Structure 1
Amino acid sequence: MYSKLLVAFDGSNLANKALRHAVELAGRYDAKLVVIHVYEVPILNSGDMLIAAPEEWSRQYADHSVKVLDSAKSQVPSERGAEFKLLQGNPAQTILETAADWGADLIVMGSRGLGGIREFVLGSVSHNVVQHSKVPVLVVK
C-alpha cells in the first residue's frame, strides 16, 4: 500500500509518537523511510525593516537541529535503512516540497509540534501540510 514514507520530526512528544507509527508502517509494508527535521532561522522585524538573524543564531539553530535529528536516529532500528535529512526553510513548505521531490506516498507527522505562539498566529504546520499535500497525511495525536 505504501512504498515511501516521509516523517516530519521536530522532537516533540507527538513527533516521537508519529515516528514510532511510521517505523511500524514501514516495516509492515516494507516501505522506504525518510525522516526530516526542518528548522527556520527567524527574521527580525524592526519597524519597516526586516533584519537577518545574527550568524551566531543560525549556528545555534543548526546545532540544536542536529541534536533533534540525532534523537530521531536513535529511535529507528538500523535495519530499517532510513534516511535522515536536516533542512532549513519554512517547515510546512519544505515538508511538502521534500515529499513531492522524493515521491513520498504518505507523510507522517504529529498534530502539534513545538511552534508555540507562532503556531497560534499562523496556523499549525500540520494543518498547512494537510491542506496543501497532494498525498495522504497521517497526523498522529
Structure 2
Amino acid sequence: MLFSKILVAYDGSNLSKKALEKAVRLVQEQTGDQQAPELEIIHVFHYPTVIGDAYAVNAKEAYLEGAQLTLKGAKALIPDSLKVKYVLQNGDPAHEVLNYAKQNQVDLIIMGSRGLGAIRELFLGSVSHNIVQQSNIPVMVVK
C-alpha cells in the first residue's frame, strides 16, 4: 500500500475537482490491497470580517450554507463504493488543511493548483504554494 490516508483539499473549483478525481483513482487502484487507503475531503471556508451584528449573522449563515453546498458537490463526484470522510472547517485554508493533516496522521495531501497571477501571488501567496512549502508530508498538486 502506497498511502494509508489521503486528504483532498476541495474548494469546488475545476482544479480541485481534478484533484478529487485523481485521489479517487489512487484509492481505487489500491482497493485490491488488504487495506485500501482512507479518503478524506476537507473544505475550508473563511468568514469575512464585517461590521454590524445583523449583517455578520446573515453573512456567517450564507458562508456556512455555501461551504455545505461545496462539500455536497464533492459528494456527488464520489462513487458509491468508496467510504469517504467529509470535513468542513472555518479559518485560513492553508493553516487548517495542514493542521488537520497533522492531527489526523494523513500521509498524502492532494489539491489543485491555482493561477492567481504573479503579482497577486507575490503579495498573498496561494493556498497550494503555502501548503507545499509548509507541509511535512507529500503534497500532490494537480494542474
In the other structure, the counterpart of 1:84 is 86
> Where in structure 2 are there 5+ consecutive unaligned residues?
31-35
Q: TM-score, normalised by structure 2?
A: 0.86
Superposed counterparts of 1:105-116, under 5 Å: 105-112=107-114
- Deviations 1:63-114 (CA, angstroms, capped at 9, x unpaired): 0010000000010112210101111111000000011111110000000189
Superposed counterparts of 1:1-141, under 5 Å: 1-29=2-30, 30-44=36-50, 54-112=56-114, 121-141=123-143
In the other structure, the counterpart of 1:47 is none
Q: TM-score, normalised by structure 1?
A: 0.87
**Contact 1:7–1:19, Cα closer than 8 Å, also in 2:** yes
Following the alignment from structure 1 to structure 2, what is the Cα–Cα distance between the partners of residues 37 and 119?
A: 21
Following the alignment from structure 1 to structure 2, what is the Cα–Cα distance between the partners of residues 106 and 70?
A: 22
1:72/1:79 CA distance change after superposition, 3 Å: same
Note the C-alpha offset of 1:121.
3.3
Following the alignment from structure 2 to structure 1, what is the Cα–Cα distance between the partners of residues 16 and 86?
A: 14
Following the alignment from structure 1 to structure 2, what is the Cα–Cα distance between the partners of residues 94 and 58?
A: 18
**Count of residues paired in the alignment:** 134
Root mean square deviation, CA, Å: 2.2
Note the C-alpha offset of 1:51.
7.8
The runs of at least 4 consecutive aligned structure 1 residues that moved more than 3 Å come to 50-53, 117-121
> Where in structure 1 are there 5+ consecutive unaligned residues?
45-49
**Contact 1:43–1:51, Cα closer than 8 Å, also in 2:** no
Following the alignment from structure 2 to structure 1, what is the Cα–Cα distance between the partners of residues 125 and 131?
A: 10
Following the alignment from structure 1 to structure 2, what is the Cα–Cα distance between the partners of residues 123 and 51?
A: 29
Following the alignment from structure 1 to structure 2, what is the Cα–Cα distance between the partners of residues 32 and 139?
A: 19
**Contact 1:40–1:90, Cα closer than 8 Å, also in 2:** yes
**Contact 1:8–1:36, Cα closer than 8 Å, also in 2:** yes
